[in-house]
Structure 1
Amino acid sequence: MSPAPGGASDVVVVGGGAAGLSLAYRLVETGAATVTVVEQPDGPGRPAERTWCYWDEDVGDLAEAVEASWPLLRVHGPHGDALTVDPAPSRYRMVRSTAFERLVHARLARSPGGSLLRATVDTVRDVPGGAEVRCTAPGGRTLTLRARRVFDSRPLPALPPARTRLLQHFRGWFVRTDTGRFDPAIADLMDFRVPQPRHGLAFGYVLPLAPDRALVEYTEFSRAPLTTAAYEAALGHYTREVLGLGAFRVESAEQGVIPMTDARFPRRTGNAVFRIGTAGGAT
């Protein structure tokens, strides 16, 4: 459902990523507030499907969105030594963005106080008694939403000043092997057997989904992302030379960049406007 132009909710959440959908889900689940989520319409401006992982003791009401979880975690040293730990009572869990969106969208649709609007947000500003969000619907119609509070997760145009600015950047393959090569009980959180860059740090990351399926990633902490070709070369080396996967096929890929900085992010940009997620310094 979509709010009418000029309609008011207690809360407007700008952006349907992990932070925005998590906040909206909890608000409608607890009945704490009426919520309108504004998401980018389908098209080039909408993010591709991505993977989120988190720690928790209980899968709780997110069960239908959790694709996999692992009771054991492993770290490989650069010379092949490995440490395996049991983080009980916590488990490491994987959620795919499409499944999480489906879960939250369904909950919003069932809630009398929840709504979803596909539109491009143009401006967010304080107004007397709350905040105003102006956006453009796919057909070009301009909509104005008002709320007591707005939580904005849109990326910042530039990072704040900082002593340290690194990027956690990565590319991952969802692979299927010809034979069972993975232990679905163990996630390799960091594998330092990959070649290290001149400046920064690199590691492999393996999340098994079945004996013959896994998400395999190459990750760097450094100042600048790589080209896609460089990620592909690093993944090729890791899967073939380090993991020794043998014959496999890549079913899909994902790529991302996460800012890692000690900058102080403005959590509040107005009396009734708040930044959340990466835009609020969560990483």
Structure 2
Amino acid sequence: MITPDYYYVIVGGGLAGLQLALRLHQDVFFKGKKIAIIEPSKKSANDKTWCFWEKGRGNWDHLIAKKWNKGKFISSELSRDLALEPYSYKMINSLDFYDYAKEELENSEDIFFIKDRITKIDQVTRNAIGEKNNYTATHFFDSRLDSDFKNDEKSSLIYQHFKGIKIKTEKAHFDPEIFTMMDYRVKHKEDTCFTYILPTSKNEVLVEFTFFTPSLCKESVYDQKLEEYIHSILKIDHFEIIETEKGIIPMTDYPFHKSNTRYLTKIGTAGGWVKASSGYSFKNTEVKVEKLIENIKSGLHPSANLMNKKFQKYDAIFLDVLQSQNNLGESLFTKFYTKNSIQEIFSFLDEETSFSEDLKIMLSLYHPQFIRSFFKKI
């Protein structure tokens, strides 16, 4: 029998791949097992801003660029203050995470960074085929997104797509202690879209225009809406753009887990690790990685019981509602944020609530389309 090049190959050095590699590195159970992280890019740009809510201290507090204990939800007709305690809303710049992960992992004798693009994984020969070389392993963790999810008629699919700009003003315009989760005052047609505001100081803020829609739009639309919000809502005429970020996140109930096999586990977005109804990924990834590590140490398949079927069903119903009647977005989120406490919302989105708590939230969102979507998805 040919000895494999590596015990594990992690295809993709993004959020999921690096979080997984860090946990493997930190656990003595995996000491001596050679691990390759294969990624085509150097991850040397601050290309994303990750946010998540959390109670108290967490594993990533040393990387936190900013956190908030207060927030706002704003619809066309009302504004609600959100007192988050005991939670706080935390922000991490992607480059800080990439740099930390690489610094930690490059000191390991067991972990190897390889710059290559994997085009195929042959599970018969257990060979990852790259543009520069081939790599054998006992198991592959694959973050490459399978495009089949776009064409699956049984699954709902909308996209969270956005453009954000970090701006700096000469005068103090912002309260750095309050972020805005959603502001629906700037609209585009009848789409579910909103503006997301993360102030980091009195004169610096990230303004992001975000859609939850079945189709994408031209980049000029984001630019127009960002300009409209900054001028009409923030009342700012002069500012400097410091950074820009863009993203497209699939929000879908597609069964990504069906691609998992004896020798391969899909991770990250490709594994369904993004919360389907919200698009949040950072904390979700941490939870999935912990469960995955526990499974391996218990002799189970890495993906065993990784997904909560109850909450997958809730997500599927909500996605079908937005896909069927996208114009309902603002009214649904307004009900969500005004008929439930922010603590109840966070607990529900973290998949920690009981059935009676779930029922309260579901009833607060009631619309006839939910009934139609429920029977469609059962």
- Partners of 2:29 and 2:51 lie apart in 1 by 26
Q: Alignment partner for residue 255 of structure 1, among 246, 252, 264? A: 246
Deviations along 1:107-133, one digit per CA (max 9) or x if unpaired, are 1111222221111112213247xx332
- Partners of 1:21 and 1:117 lie apart in 2 by 13
Q: Alignment partner for residue 82 of structure 2, among 74, 80, 85? A: 85
Does residue 136 of structure 1 match 2:113? no
Deviations along 1:200-233, one digit per CA (max 9) or x if unpaired, are 3011000111111111000111122211111100
Q: Match for residue 271 of structure 1?
A: 262
Contact 2:7 2:137 in 1 (8 A): yes
Contact 1:193 1:203 in 2 (8 A): yes
The total of aligned residue pairs comes to: 267
Structure-2 change in CA distance of 1:30 and 1:50 (3 Å): same
Give the match's secondary structure for 2:106: helix
Q: Match for residue 3 of structure 1?
A: none
Work out the percentage of aligned pairs sharing the same amino acid. 27
Structure-2 change in CA distance of 1:267 and 1:48 (3 Å): farther
Give the match's secondary structure for 1:230: helix
Contact 1:267 1:280 in 2 (8 A): no
- Work out which structure has the larger RCO, using CA pairs closer than 8 Å and 6 or more positions apart in sequence: 1
> What's the CA shift for 1:22?
1.1
- Equivalence map 1:10-29=2 (5 Å): 10-29=7-26
- Partners of 1:191 and 1:41 lie apart in 2 by 35
Give the match's secondary structure for 1:226: coil
- Partners of 2:75 and 2:60 lie apart in 1 by 33
Q: Match for residue 199 of structure 2?
A: 208
- Partners of 2:188 and 2:268 lie apart in 1 by 30
> Match for 2:26: what amino acid?
E
Q: Match for residue 106 of structure 1?
A: 103
Contact 2:45 2:95 in 1 (8 A): no
> What's the CA shift for 1:278?
0.9
- Partners of 1:163 and 1:10 lie apart in 2 by 34
Q: Alignment partner for residue 124 of structure 1, among 106, 121, 124? A: 121
Give the CA RMSD over aligned residues: 2.2
Q: TM-score, normalising length from structure 1?
A: 0.86
Q: Alignment partner for residue 70 of structure 2, among 72, 80, 94? A: 72
- Partners of 1:223 and 1:231 lie apart in 2 by 16
Structure-2 change in CA distance of 1:77 and 1:23 (3 Å): same
- Partners of 1:110 and 1:58 lie apart in 2 by 30
Does residue 149 of structure 1 match 2:139? yes
Does residue 96 of structure 1 match 2:87? no
Structure-2 change in CA distance of 1:114 and 1:267 (3 Å): farther
Q: Match for residue 160 of structure 2?
A: 168
Give the match's secondary structure for 2:113: strand
Q: Match for residue 36 of structure 2?
A: 36
5+ residue gaps, structure 2: 275-378
Q: Match for residue 179 of structure 1?
A: 171
> Match for 2:79: what amino acid?
A
Deviations along 1:58-87, one digit per CA (max 9) or x if unpaired, are 4544234322111112111212x2212222
Deviations along 1:235-282, one digit per CA (max 9) or x if unpaired, are 000111012234211112111111112222235443110111111122
Greater fraction of residues in strand: 1
5+ residue gaps, structure 1: 1-5
> Match for 1:242: what amino acid?
I
Contact 2:231 2:237 in 1 (8 A): yes
- Partners of 2:267 and 2:145 lie apart in 1 by 10
Structure-2 change in CA distance of 1:176 and 1:260 (3 Å): same
Q: TM-score, normalising length from structure 2?
A: 0.66
- Partners of 1:77 and 1:177 lie apart in 2 by 26
> What's the CA shift for 1:39?
1.0
Give the match's secondary structure for 1:205: strand
Moved more, 188-197 or 99-108: 188-197
Contact 1:267 1:275 in 2 (8 A): no
- Partners of 1:58 and 1:279 lie apart in 2 by 30
> What's the CA shift for 1:106?
0.8
Contact 1:12 1:36 in 2 (8 A): yes
